[in-house]
Amino acid sequence: MTISEDDKPSLPKRPQILVGEDLSKQSEEELGERIKALEAEILRTKKTLDHKRSVRTSADALFSKL
């Protein structure tokens, strides 16, 4: 038995945010959602950056002992 494309669960679509796009035609609600999405993306980016810095610090500590 195969799963058809229609039967596969779909992930919720994230709103596509383009930096520099014209915002004048967006409603207050859309602009609020945009801000929430951008804040979530900033948080995700900061977490990734923190992780990478932690890995680098660990690697630097390991290799400085050699």
- Give me the pLDDT at residue 17, please: 86
- Give me the pLDDT at residue 65, please: 75
What averages of pLDDT result for each successive group of 10 residues across the chain (66 residues)?
66 75 96 96 97 96 84
Q: Which amino acid is at 27?
A: S
Ordered by start, the domain boundaries in the chain are 31-66
- Give me the pLDDT at residue 35, please: 96
CA distances from 40 to 21, 33, 37, 61, 64 (A): 19, 11, 5, 32, 36
- Give me the pLDDT at residue 11, please: 62
| Helical ranges in 1-66 per DSSP H | 28-64
The predicted model scores a pTM of 0.66
- Give me the pLDDT at residue 1, please: 54
CA distances from 44 to 11, 50, 60, 61 (A): 18, 10, 24, 26
